[in-house]
Amino acid sequence: MNLINTAYDLIKRESNRKIISWAIKILVFGLSYYFIYVQIFEKKEIQSITQKLTILITKGNAPFFWITLILMLVNASLESLKWKFLIKKIESITFLRSLKAIFSGRTLNIFAPYQLGEFGARVFHLDKADRWKAVVIVMMGNAVNLL
């Protein structure tokens, strides 16, 4: 009977964890959407953004725009590979999952001070790993960026 209760408790904790996980994801998505909406539509900056993009692309600067966009993707990919390499000691993750963790961290950094969102978002994408070890690994990865 004790084994059944233990199994039930584990299942209950796992389902609670999934519910909390989804709630946090929905909250972050909602806050991100609201932040972008306010920045673009409430402040009436949509015209200035489109004007700046038009000027950027039409005045012979289009190659710089595309190069910048490509380099941003390369940067995110390299950061994702670094995260995948750093975290493999405690949990094996795929490149795509690592990339999701990177983009989640960058999204949360909009709201959190001192890049605290990056810690939470990256650790949030792990399943089995010790969360505190993962936080230390994130801190090591950020320290490497300073070198």
- Does the residue 118 lie in any domain? yes
Q: Is residue 46 within 8 Å of 37, Cβ to Cβ?
A: no
- Does the residue 134 lie in any domain? yes
- Does the residue 23 lie in any domain? yes
Q: Which domain holds residue 104?
A: 62-147
pLDDT tens string 41-83: 776 666 777 777 787 777 777 788 889 889 999 999 998 999 8
Domain count, the chain: 2
pLDDT tens string 122-136: 887 777 777 788 888
**90 vs 20, 73, 140, 142, CA distance in Å?**
23, 26, 14, 18
Do 39 and 67 belong together in one domain? no
Do 33 and 81 belong together in one domain? no
pLDDT value, residue 113: 74
Full-model pTM: 0.64
- Does the residue 34 lie in any domain? yes
